[in-house]
Amino acid sequence: MPRIPHALPFITGLLTLLSTAMPPAHAQPATYARPEVAVAALFPQQTFVEWTSTTGDWNRDGVPDIALLLNEVNGPSDRPMEIRLVVLAGTPGGQYTPLSTSASYCRAQKFFRLEAKGASLWVTAVDKAEGDDLGSTTLQFRFNPRRGDFELIGKETVWTSGKDGGRSSVNYLSGKFITSERVKGRLKASQEKRFAVPALAVLKGFDCDVYEDGTL
């Protein structure tokens, strides 16, 4: 009779050795034909519409990416509508894959502006824009390839009313906080403070309602 059973322990041991030597397979990230399809997949229980968007190459792979500010519609009446900031990475095949998604993003009373500059995404929330009166807050996110996400590295708040106005800027990389005030067109006061640099917040899961920037 053949001695096949005697070979089974050797074969079993060989298969075990090969399985431990081979690296585990990693699931490929999901890709979507269009941004709106990706948004629907990211938020299957909610309905979002695009408020504004911009394109850039934040991960520096030579393929255009897209950033979208989304506003929830048809949400429950017992809570405010949600705002989300979503960045989708473009693929060489013309599709999109999620790169980063905020939690509850900061609100704007008037409108948003998005701007791409190199690896940075500038997000401006305009709360007042009436004649000479303006009020806005801009957050600067910069993509960090080591973390695979955007880090919040700066914030600027600006207000103007006729010839009066003020500006504050925060640099989360250097721990510098600068404020200035203008009265009747002339600089009245300028102040610079230092603060303990916090761990840089990332866009994924960023919640504007609970974020502490460390400058206070």
Q: Are residues 98 and 42 in the same domain?
A: yes
**Are 73 and 116 part of one and the same domain?**
no
**Residue in 142, 132, 136 with CA at minimum distance from that of residue 169:** 136
Beta bridge partners of 186: 183
- One domain, residues 132 and 156: yes
Q: How much is the pTM?
A: 0.83
What integer pLDDT is reported at residue 214 of this predicted model? 61
- Are 93 and 118 members of one domain? no
Does 172 lie in the same domain as 99?
A: no
The per-residue pLDDT for 189 is 67
**Range scoring the smallest mean pLDDT among 100-109, 124-133, 160-169, 182-191:** 182-191
Domain-ending residue, one of 105, 132, 167: 105
Average pLDDT, the chain: 86
Within this chain, do residues 41 and 94 fall inside the same structural domain, yes or no?
Answer: yes
Residue 122 lies in a domain: yes
- pLDDT at residue 139 is higher than 90: yes
| Whether residue 123 is found in the same domain as residue 175 | yes
The residues near 103 (Cβ < 8 Å, ≥ 6 apart) are 84, 205, 206, 207
Average pLDDT score over residue span 106-122: 95
Is 149 within the bounds of a domain?
yes
pLDDT greater than 60 at residue 146: yes
Q: H-type helices in the chain, by residue range? A: 4-21, 35-42
Supply the pLDDT for residue 183.
86
Mean pLDDT of 112-140: 95
pLDDT at 12: 45
In-domain check, residue 212? no
Tell me what the mean pLDDT of segment 39-43 comes to.
96
- Does the residue 39 lie in any domain? yes
Judgement on whether residues 118 and 133 belong to the same structural domain of the protein: yes
**Of the candidates 112, 173, 121, 123, the residue with the CA atom closest to the CA atom of residue 150:** 121
Q: What is the mean pLDDT of residues 121-150?
A: 95
Does some domain include residue 153? yes
Whether 38 maps to a domain, the answer reads yes
Tell whether 119 and 187 lie within a shared domain: yes
173 belongs to a structural domain:
yes
Q: Of 81, 105, 129, which residue is a domain's last?
A: 105
Domain count, the chain: 2
CA distance linking residue 156 with residue 158, whole number of Å: 7
At 50, the pLDDT band (50, 70, 90 cuts) reads very high
Q: What pLDDT sits at residue 154?
A: 95
**Domain end call among 105, 129, 152:** 105
pLDDT of residue 4: 43
- Confidence band for 17, pLDDT divided at 50, 70 and 90: very low
**Per-residue pLDDT at 46:** 93
Verify that 153 and 165 share a domain, yes or no.
yes
Which token pair is 194? 């230092």
Residue 214 falls within a domain, yes or no?
A: no
Together in a domain, 199 and 117: yes
Do 90 and 137 fall into the same domain?
no
Q: Could you tell me the residue range of the domain that residue 63 belongs to? A: 29-105
Nearest alpha carbon to residue 142 among 91, 202, 83: 202
126: pLDDT strictly greater than 90: yes
